[in-house]
Structure formats: C-alpha cells, structure tokens
Amino acid sequence: MTSTLPFPELRGGNLGVRIAATAAEIDAVQDLRYRVFYGEMGARPDAETQRTGRDRDVYDGVADHLLVVDHDIGPGPEGVVGTYRLIRREAAAKVGHFYSADEYDIGQIEAMPGKILELGRSCVDSRYRGRAAMQLLWGGIAAYVFHHNIDLMFGCASLPGTDTDALAAELTYLYYHHLAPAGIRPRALPHRYIEMRRLDREEIDPRRVLVSLPPLIKGYLRLGGFVGDGAVIDAQFNTTDVAVVVKTDQVTASYYRHYERRVREATE
C-alpha cells in the first residue's frame, strides 16, 4: 500500500521522526504533552484535561503531528518521545483561525500569498532532551517544508514562568537583536500586550542571555528566525510567550540540503 504521509521516516540511531499516522499515535502525543506541560511545567488543567490526562484542543483534529519515536521501545504510539504540531493555512481555515491569533495580530502573515505553516505544542520527554531528539524534530520540519513548499513558518514560543521582570533580560535581548521586519512582524493583541523592552539595551549581555534562552527559541534563532512585538502571558500554561517568524529562504542552505538529501535517499 502506498503511504499517504508527506515524507518517509528519517532515522538517527534508535530514534526516528515522521508524521503521526494513527489515532493511537495522536493520543500518545496528547499524553506526552500532558505529562510535560501539566506534570512538569506547572500548567493548570481544566476539569476535562485533568480527567482525561490529555492535552488536546480543536486544532489537533486538523493538524499534522510530527513524532520522534524511540524504536528501542516500539515503532508506534508506545515509542513516542517527542512531538511538534504543524498547522497549514487550509487546516487553520477548518477551525476559523490559527492558534496564534488568540495572542497576536498575524494579519500581515495571513495576507502573504505563499504557503504558511504554524508551529506549536512542541515538547520532548525528559529522558530525551539532548541534541539528537531536537535535531530530528528540526529535520522533520525541514522535510515537511520541502514537501509542502512552505514559504514562511510562525508560531508562539514560550519562556518559563509568568514573571516578566525575571525574564527582563531575555525579552529585552529578543526585541533588540531579533525583531522581525515590519512587513512580517506579529504584534501582541492590545489587551494582552506586554512590553518586551524591560531594560536598557546596554544593560544586557547578549552572549550570556543567549545561553539562558530555552532550546526551542534558540533553535528558531539559529534558523534565522525573528520575534514579534510584545510578549503575552499564558496563565493556563504558566509561560510568557513570544511570537516567532522564520522565512524559509533565510534558513541556511546547508541545513536544508542535508535533510533534502536524507529524504531523497529514503525514497529511492
């Protein structure tokens, strides 16, 4: 039977990355997200979330779910140890809007004529938070971008906690060093907008702050990514969010050539 998945599984040792193919795998994703977001990061579950032990919402039914699978555990839902949720324009249209639109004005991005992709709900099992799993996740995203000819990726990325004064150096650094160009710059909705310039530019040490950023945000920056204007408090998830934007033509050519070659080899 011919696979309907967008790209074949990419392997790195015992780990593989691919798109979820079954309802059981999506359930495993939601279980992993619950364990990480609610069990570790202090997110506050509503009654249904607590009852089911699953992090799920309406977007799960229209999204593609990128999986990292540990084949030493198993090739299916039992082996899911990492995930990323991918929502294309046509998928968001089925819900009515992108997830990020609850926090940011993304009208300029939505008005772009090309293909756009929202990234979100990323997490990795605590036992796998090394370089290998994150590299595979980014490799899976690269393969997905190739397959669907994505022009721009965006989403919300999180800093831990909701004390913006404690995050002053990180927010100030991101604003002054990685602010998106005006034409593709999301802006936090007025009623949720929190100023990111919390310190004078001269007060921060960029090299030290960069080290302290969450791996996910550093990953976006390594891909040539930008941030939007304004932070947003997500009280439910106990995070401070920033909007991120990555133009795929700004991603280093060598990175994409590497994963393009791997996808081609896997299909030959």
Nearest partner of 120 among 65, 41, 186, judged by Cα: 65
Give residue 266's pLDDT: 53
Give residue 181's pLDDT: 96
Range of the domain at 182: 85-267
- The single-letter code of the amino acid at 55 is D
- Residue 97 counted as domain residue: yes
- Backbone region of residue 13 per phi and psi (left: phi > 0; alpha: psi in -120 to 50; beta: other values): left
Contact between 20 and 7 (Cβ < 8 Å): no
Tell me: the pLDDT tens digits for 200-254? 999 999 999 999 999 889 989 988 899 999 999 999 999 999 999 999 875 545 4
Contact between 49 and 31 (Cβ < 8 Å): no
Which residues are paired to 16 by β-bridges? 11, 69
Total domain count, the chain: 1
- Residue 79 counted as domain residue: no
- Residue 32 counted as domain residue: no
Give residue 1's pLDDT: 33
Give residue 2's pLDDT: 42
Backbone CA torsion sign across 248, 250, 221, 10: positive
Backbone CA torsion sign across 24, 241, 225, 130: negative
d(CA 139, CA 214): 19
DSSP secondary-structure letter at 251? S
- Residue 54 counted as domain residue: no
Q: Report the SS3 class of residue 254.
A: helix
Give residue 9's pLDDT: 92
**Residue 105 belongs to domain with CATH number:** 3.40.630
Question: Which stretches of the chain score pLDDT less than 50?
Answer: 1-2, 252, 254, 267
Give residue 260's pLDDT: 61
Tell me the pTM: 0.92
Give residue 4's pLDDT: 67
- Residue 262 counted as domain residue: yes
> Within 10 Å of residue 9's Cβ, how many Cβ atoms?
18
Tell me: the pLDDT tens digits for 233-246? 999 999 999 999 99
- Residue 248 counted as domain residue: yes
DSSP secondary-structure letter at 151? -
Contact between 232 and 240 (Cβ < 8 Å): yes
- Residue 59 counted as domain residue: no
- Residue 128 counted as domain residue: yes
